[in-house]
A and B are shown apart, each in its own frame.
Chain A
Amino acid sequence: MDETKPQVTVLMIDDESNARKMAKLLLEREGYRVVTAANGEEGLLLAKVEQPSVVLLDLVMPKMDGHETLRRLRDDQDTKHIPVIMVSARGTEHDIASSFRLGAVFHVEKPYETKDLVQKIQIAVTLSGRGGAPS
């Protein structure tokens, strides 16, 4: 597995600790390196430092919500190239449209099947040309 998927770092930003824990367990089992942040600010910082291949971003979070975090990721020279997948319990047309307008590559609605998320991570990483393809 690790041969076809060279260590891809996934940054997950979610205020729900169990959601972070499960996503980490599942994605690590899929061969990813997973770093997590519990809020937007911490996420922005980790994105700069870790330079993940993809960011999984929750929408509804206290203080800085997912869309604001997304905006800042796109505004920052150091992070604007990182593909972002919104992962949220909210999935109204309005939410989804906002996600895409702000530059997200996918908007995944919770609850989701892990295999669907993995598939989208792969697409996002491949499209961005960073770390997806074997080096």
Chain B
Amino acid sequence: MTQSRVTVLLIEDNPRDAQIMQEALLEAKETTFVVEWVDRVSKGLDRLAQGTVDLVLTGLQLPDSEGLQAVTRIHAHANGVPIIVLTSLDDEALAVQALQQGAQDYLVKGDIQASRNLLVRSIRYAIERSRTEEERTRLEKDFAAALAAAAVADRKRAAELDEAYQELKRTQEMLVQAEKMAAVGQLASGIAHEVKNPLGIILQCVNYLEPELNAKGGSQAEILQVMREAVKTSDKIVRGLLDFSRPTPLELKPTPILTVINASLALVQVQAHDKKIRLTTDAAPNLPPVMLDEHQMEQVFINLILNAFHAMPQGGALTIRGRVKRLTEARTAGVGRRTNDTFQIGETALVCEIHDTGTGIPKEILPNVFNPFFTTKPPGEGVGLGLAITASIIQGHQGIIYIESEEGRGTTVSIILPLSSAKSHTRRGDGRD
């Protein structure tokens, strides 16, 4: 027992018994016991509330508390202070119940009278046990806290792992997409050659029949003209394919984006008027020039504008916005903190948005719109290369493009371009020709 001074709260209404206890404790040698005696449980509880009590000694026949009820009440307010029950009965069953109610020990008064040491020893043990108990509780608490901390760390690690996995998946998807594009490119240039040869022969046949049938006039001459047009259309489609598969070297020059936007809008003015589409440009006139291939970027804007027109058969509004923005969101693929992200968070870039009030793109097809040969147009109206070519031009400009759309409300295509680009590349940058 390390404590040399022990405060004992004695709850006993029998003065004789109280005195015996006090005397027994005062005789103890190694420890100084300070005994505070009260004769009611209620008084004992008041004293306990003040603190600095090391142990409670209580009788069971108290005026304001009958039997084990006293132990229960004291235990509820003891706040870990050990309790020893004093009784005049040597009753094993009662002793067990007292211990169950929270007492540390159970002493028979007669025994104490016989061996005064018994009380001191019992008190020492009780305090020691209580201290051990406290220590155990503390360790348990520490352990639980450590476990909880470990669980938090685990969850954090799991989240990090999950994020890394998602990132890997995205990168893999991008690689797969790039491979798909490259494969399509190779396939396209191979097929293009195979198709252009017979187209050439058909046109030769048309040429051969022309003088005779044109001289006759009428439907046969018309039919020849139809054939020629079909050949030209097929050739145009094949050339589109080749355009896509062949990286056209970019001729980058510092160009104000407004120049490109205005040139593109000028080309669609008449169509917009016919389709009852209002065109608005919302761009600061002092936007800094960016490194652009003016011709190819025009193709991008015209593609996107015509797509928007297509989505607004009943008319509507098309707005082109241009802003210099600090990129904050990492949600956009290509904007992040890793070195292979096209843009770093915090980087300042040119952001263009082409917004329409059209039918929108259904969620389930949105992930496919940049895939080559993906088209929602009826056969013959498009081969599905517009957005694929658009995306590859943007990539060639070291930029990113993404689409947000809400069905029935409209679509916004965003293009992010670097403000200064020392890195000039051919489209898709794979160096093939």
Which A residues have a C-beta under 8 Å from some C-beta of B? 16, 18-19, 22-23, 25-26, 29, 60, 89-90, 92-94, 109-115
Contact = CB atoms under 8 A, between A and B. Distances in A.
Nearest to B205: A22
A109 B203 CA distance: 12
Residue from the set B194, B200, B201, B231 with the largest chain A CB neighbour count within 10 Å: B200
A26 B210 CA distance: 11
Contact of A89 (B192, B204, B205): B192
Interface in B41-63: none
A100 B73 CA distance: 109
Contact of A111 (B194, B202, B208, B433): B202
Nearest to A90: B193
Nearest to B195: A89
A55 B309 CA distance: 49
Interface of B: 192-197, 199-205, 207-208, 231, 235, 242, 246, 433
A89 B208 contact: no
A110 B207 contact: no
A89 B207 contact: no
A22 B193 contact: no
Contact of A110 (B196, B205, B208, B246): B196
Residue from the set A90, A94, A115 with the largest chain B CB neighbour count within 10 Å: A90
B204 A16 contact: no
Given A16-B201, A114-B204, A92 B433 contact: yes
B209 to A, nearest CB: 10
Contacts of A19: 197, 200-201, 204
B433 A110 contact: no
Given A16-B201, A111-B200, A112-B200, 10 more contacts: A23-B204, A26-B204, A26-B207, A89-B195, A90-B193, A92-B242, A92-B433, A94-B433, A110-B197, A111-B202
A25 B205 CA distance: 9
Contacts of A90: 193, 196
B197 A113 contact: no
B207 A92 contact: no
Contacts of B194: 89
B428 to A, nearest CB: 15
A111 B235 contact: yes
A93 B426 CA distance: 14
A93 B143 CA distance: 73
Given A94-B433, A111-B231, A22 B197 contact: no
B304 to A, nearest CB: 26
A115 B192 CA distance: 24
Given A26-B207, A26-B208, A60-B193, A92 B246 contact: yes
Nearest to A109: B196
B433 A93 contact: yes
Contacts of B204: 19, 22-23, 26, 111, 114
Contacts of B203: 111-113
A89 B193 contact: yes
A113 B196 CA distance: 13
B433 A16 contact: no
A114 B197 contact: no
Contacts of B208: 22, 25-26, 29, 114
B341 to A, nearest CB: 32
6 contacts: A19-B201, A89-B195, A109-B196, A111-B199, A111-B201, A111-B204
B433 A18 contact: no
